[in-house]
Amino acid sequence: MKSVFTIAVLFVFLALALGQPGAPVVQAKLLSSVDKFQKGTTHRIALELTIQPPYHINSHKPAEDFLIPTEVTFEPVPGITFGELKYPQGISKQFSFSEVPLNVYEGTVYIYGSVTIAPDYPGKEVALRGTVEFQACDDHTCLAPEEMTFTGNFPVVEPGETVQSIHPEVFAPRKTSGEKAAVAEAVPPAEEENPFQGKGFLLTLALVFLGGLALNLTPCVYPLIPITISYFGGQAGEKKGSLLTHAIVYVLGMAVTYSVLGVIAALTGSLFGAALQNPYVLIVLAAILVGLSLSMFDLYEIRVPAFLSNFAGGARQGLFGTLFMGLTVGIVAAPCIGPFVLALLTYVGEQGNVFLGFILFFVLAIGLGIPFIFLAIFSGSLSRMPRSGAWMVWVRSIFGFVLIAMAIYFLHPLFPNDLIYYLALAFTMLVGGVYMAWIEPTPSQGKVFPVIRNLVGVVFFILALIFTSTGVQTYVDQKLEKLEASPGAAQTSEKIQWFPYSEAMLQKAASEGKPVMIDFYADWCIPCKELDKFTFSQPEVIELSRDMIMLKVDLTKGNSPEAKALKKKYNIRGVPTLVFLTPEGRELSDLRVVGFMEKEEFLPRMKKALEYARK
């Protein structure tokens, strides 16, 4: 009896175990760095994603454009402001179905963010709710993209009440050992790798520095250079070293002012980034930039209020007076440098990175201040400076076209396609080149200025060609990608003749006595593309396909009623899946293919399907 009872218990447990549904591929859990949220305070949060082996999900920035990235979205909550999300970098890993390594998440990863509780938040608890979109694959197949909902409830307390730090293993600064762990676990934002390393960032710094240098040539700044250097000389007496000290202090004052502006723009970046999702905000912003650009063409004049100008230009003695002049020079020169600074502030606000805001505006200030330091060192060169004149109006026009280009940049999401966007930039540069070289009314005096005019025109023309070629190339690449992805694209004598799945095609197979192969695929599926490229393109496979009915089922939008019905009918769990049917419509289950397969393994399955049909 004991043996019978033991066997019965084992059967019960076995039945319960087999009856349990499989665990989800990805599980999401919302964590907080504190046990309670305090009103008027910003707190860090993290979304913990646990990916069940052997699956992985695409990173936030996957290796291929057609892959579905991991995206987290929070639902708005009155009185709660969400900060910028920080995604892990992912790990680069080679899979059997892909030619190139993919950037993926495996195991447990954390996506970091922050929440700011308004001082007047009315509730005693806040419910955070959001969704995470991802696409899971193993080493053979890819599952359909999913959108998972997550929630988290957190108590809210008044300012001054004690809160305790929790989850130190997630939020505390730490260093991981091993390359894979360091990348996959995604350290908190405070320890993130500097994302601005590389040639692209250095080029941005160089352009901002050159922009700062060029702003010295505007009518609001250039006349101030000799006056300011003379002021330094009066303060320093005959001591050249003291003259240089005043110049450095002056430039540091400029650097402090502009760097603070950059940091403020970055700190408000999350609010600004959210606003930029609204097309009306983008249109208003672009209109402001265009309006500022028109002032650069002398259609009207932007003036600083007299009381601000007098405040900034007030004479003060000693190094403190020099520092004060540096801190406030932006007010005096605002009509000329203000539009460029505002455009850069807008860009930094969109990026929302404090380091980027600080360093860009610091470099801008250094570019503005280099002439002052140079002339302080070589004070005798002051007499060799070109006289200010009409040529500075010509320089302002260059910044006018730069501001128009930035307006187009912010309108990018509203363009119907990238081709029109790049052509708009190209047209702006083309008009700018013609205007700066030949139409701008500044008289071409001397021998050097005409050469500079033509050189600037050539630079604008080159930019126009670059934007045009980029737009055309992008348009052609997108068209080719869509053409290659379409089921009917391979209907030539050198390729397999595919047909969209339909009951009519199944009846055609029955009437002609041909077996059927159904390719279940999706646009975001790398193994599917590898099958098309390496297996379905082989001459032997193409030859055998002519005696079969070859059908494709697009599961890119797997939640459509048609896709759901076919997945249920043929028991499809992931893509690619290849199903072979007899002419009568019965599946040859032993021939089913799940995942990528080389020609050598695939050809015998096609031959067996043909043999079944001939029996």
State the pLDDT confidence band at 16, using cuts at 50, 70 and 90. very low
Give me the CATH number covering residue 516.
3.40.30.10
Cα–Cα separations (whole angstroms), residue 419 to 227, 407, 409, 481: 48, 17, 13, 15
Read off the pLDDT of residues 257-295 as tens digits, 9 standing for 90 and up: 878 877 877 676 544 544 555 677 778 878 887 887 887
pLDDT at position 481, please? Answer: 61
What residue type is 176 in one-letter code? T
Task: Indicate if 381 and 238 belong to the same structural domain.
Answer: yes
Whether 26 contacts 146, CB under 8 Å: yes
Tokens of 514: 């041909």
Same domain membership, residue 424 and residue 568: no
Q: Are residues 208 and 291 in the same domain?
A: yes
* Residue showing tokens 């991991």: 70
Q: Does residue 570 lie within any of the structural domains?
A: yes
- Can you tell me which residue has the tokens 């939020």? 171
Q: 175: alpha, beta or left, given left = phi > 0 and alpha = psi -120 to 50?
A: beta
Q: List Cβ neighbours of 581 (8 Å cut-off, separation of 6 or more).
A: 506, 509, 515, 516, 517, 518, 587, 588
- Reading phi first (left if > 0) and then psi (alpha if -120 to 50, else beta), residue 513 is in left
Eight-class DSSP state of 435 = I
Answer yes or no: do 312 and 341 share one domain: yes
Are 73 and 128 in contact by the 8 Å Cβ rule? The answer is: no
279 against 390, higher pLDDT: 279
Query: Which phi and psi (to 5°) does residue 34 adopt?
Result: -135, 160
Q: Is residue 481 part of a domain?
A: yes
Asked which of 485, 510, 542 is the last residue of a domain, the reply is 485
What confidence tens digit (pLDDT) does each residue in 416-458 have? 888 898 999 999 999 998 988 888 777 766 677 788 888 888 9
Are residues 135 and 255 located together in one domain of the fold? no
Nearest alpha carbon to residue 336 among 293, 290, 379, 384: 293
Does residue 557 lie within any of the structural domains? yes
User: Last residue of some domain: 485, 506, 525?
Assistant: 485
Identify the domain boundary among 485, 512, 536: 485
Rounded to 10°, the helix 334-351/391-410 angle is 20
For residue 564, the model assigns a pLDDT of 85
Confidence check: pLDDT of 486 > 80: no
451 and 379 in a common domain? no
Q: CB within 8 A of 546, min separation 6: which ones?
A: 497
Token digits for 464?
A: 């126009």
Residue 400 domain-assigned (yes or no): no
Name the DSSP class of 412: G
Residues 481, 533 within the same domain = no
User: Is 423 within 8 Å of 467 (Cβ atoms)?
Assistant: yes
Domain membership of residue 134 (yes or no) is yes
**Whether the Cβ atoms of residue 220 and residue 368 lie closer than 8 Å to each other:** no
Q: Answer yes or no: is 404 within a domain.
A: no
C-alpha 211: how far from its chain's center?
25
Q: Which of 276, 257, 273, 267 is nearest to 355 (CA)?
A: 267
Residue 335 has pLDDT above 60, yes or no: no
117 within a domain of the structure (yes/no): yes
**Residue recorded with tokens 């989850």:** 167
Same domain? For 537 and 594 the reply is yes
- C-alpha to C-alpha distance for 255 and 129, rounded to whole angstroms: 42
**Secondary structure (H, E, C), 80-96:** EEECCCECCCCEEECCC
What band does 555 get if pLDDT is binned at 50, 70 and 90? confident
Cis peptide before 101 (omega within 30 of 0): no
Q: How many structural domains compose the chain?
A: 4
How far apart (Å, rounded) are the C-alpha atoms in residues 519 and 501? Answer: 9
- For 521-544, write each residue's pLDDT tens digit: 988 888 888 898 889 999 999 999
The reply to whether 209 and 249 lie within a common domain is yes
297's CB contacts (< 8 A; 6+ apart) are 396, 397, 400
pLDDT of the residue at 11: 40
For the stretch 46-79, pLDDT in tens is: 999 999 988 899 999 887 777 889 999 999 999 8
- Cα angle 519, 522, 524 (rounded to 5 degrees) comes to 145
Question: What local confidence, expressed as pLDDT, does residue 230 receive?
Answer: 67
Are 86 and 210 contained in the same domain? no
How much is the pTM?
0.44
In a domain, 115, yes or no: yes
At how many degrees (to 10) do helices 318-332 and 240-267 cross? 50
In terms of domains, do 55 and 164 share one? yes
Q: What is the pLDDT of residue 550?
A: 96
Nearby residues of 23 by Cβ (< 8 Å), 6 or more positions away: 52
CB neighbours of 408 closer than 8 A, spacing ≥ 6?
A: 286, 421, 424, 425, 428
**Residue 78 DSSP one-character state:** T
Residue (of 123, 28, 119, 35) closest to 81 by Cα position: 119
pLDDT in the model for residue 244: 81
Q: What CA–CA distance (Å, rounded) separates 555 from 141?
A: 13
Q: Same domain, yes or no, for 577 and 465?
A: no
DSSP string over 104-145: EE-SEEEEEEEEEE-TT---SEEEEEEEEEE-EE-SS-BPPP
Residue 68: domain span? 26-190
56-58 and 26-32 strand pairing: unpaired
Q: Give the pLDDT score at 526.
A: 81
Q: Look-up: residue for tokens 């892959």? A: 67
